[in-house]
Amino acid sequence: MNDIIDIEKDESEINQLSPLTWAYIGDCIFELYVRTKLINETRLKPHELHIKAIKYVKAKSQAEMLNNIYEELNEEEKDIVRRGRNTQNHHLPKNSNVQEYMYSTAFEALLGYLYLCKQNNRLKEIIEKSIDSLENNNWKKYNIKKKIKKTWFFKTNVVKYRYWKNL
């Protein structure tokens, strides 16, 4: 990506930027990564790609990913997350609550900062860990829901069987 787009600011100038500016570019970087990942791994049509991408880029998912990887961040990265989370944003979230929106902004700010500082290896590592943590966490949730559904199905069928047996 850096072969296509030149970043002309040095690290001291990047540190002076608003965390919302970091989040602005971080949103783009993460969206591009997710879209590329989906194109590489699937053979979906554009609308299906969009629906699948939303599961990763929505505020709730980004907040969850940040929560999952937070302990693996170094102190500088945690400071960037704190600045991104605490920045004043006058935009009200449409499909999430304010807290999720603040944490998703912090996640995007971290990605944007790493991109602008040309820390591409760390950026890729954080994005991959984040996506893996979300996928693994969703798999656990899916299995729990599946078990609950099976238990409910079993119980209702036992009740039906007992009812019909006693008639």
Tokens of 17: 């930027």
Has residue 165 got a pLDDT over 70? no
Q: Hey, what are 80's tokens?
A: 């960037």
Dihedral, CA of residue 20, residue 24, residue 29 and residue 34, to nearest 10:
100
How many C-beta atoms surround the C-beta of residue 59 within 10 A? 22
Confirm whether 62 is domain-assigned.
Answer: yes
Is residue 118 assigned to a domain? yes
Q: Is the pLDDT of residue 109 over 60?
A: yes
- Residue 90 scores a pLDDT above 90: no
The CATH number of the domain where 137 resides is what? 1.10.1520.10
Which of 117, 121, 138, 126 lies closest to 71 in space, CA to CA?
126
pLDDT higher than 50, residue 160:
no
Tell me whether residue 6 is in a domain.
Answer: no
Residue 2 within a domain: no
pLDDT, average across residues 125-147: 73
Q: In this structure, is residue 19 part of a structural domain?
A: yes
With cut-offs at 50, 70 and 90, classify the pLDDT of residue 141. Answer: low
Q: Is 27 among the catalytic positions?
A: yes
The answer to whether position 3 is within a domain reads no
Please tell me the pTM assigned to this model: 0.80
Report if residue 4 sits inside a domain.
no
pLDDT at 123 over 70: yes
Tell me which amino acid residue 101 is.
Y
Q: What does the buried/exposed string (b/e) look like for 12-47 if buried means 16 or more CB atoms within 10 Å of the residue's CB?
A: eebeebebbbbbebbbebbeebbbebbeeeeeeeee
Question: What is the per-residue burial (b if ≥16 Cβ within 10 Å, else e) of 120-131?
Answer: eeebeebbeebb
Work out the burial of residue 81: count CB atoms within 10 Å of its CB; fewer than 13 is exposed, 13-18 middle, 19 or more buried.
buried
Q: Rounded CA gap, 131 and 159, in Å?
A: 42
* In a domain? residue 120: yes
Asked whether the predicted pLDDT for residue 151 surpasses 90, the reply is no
Residue among 3, 6, 27, 132 flagged as catalytic: 27
- The range of the structural domain enclosing residue 34 comes to 11-166
pLDDT one-digit tens code per residue, 23-36: 999 999 999 999 99
SS3 44: coil
Tokens of 93: 């979230």
State yes or no: pLDDT of 46 exceeds 90. yes
Domain count, the chain: 1
Q: 52-64: per-residue pLDDT in tens?
A: 999 999 999 999 9
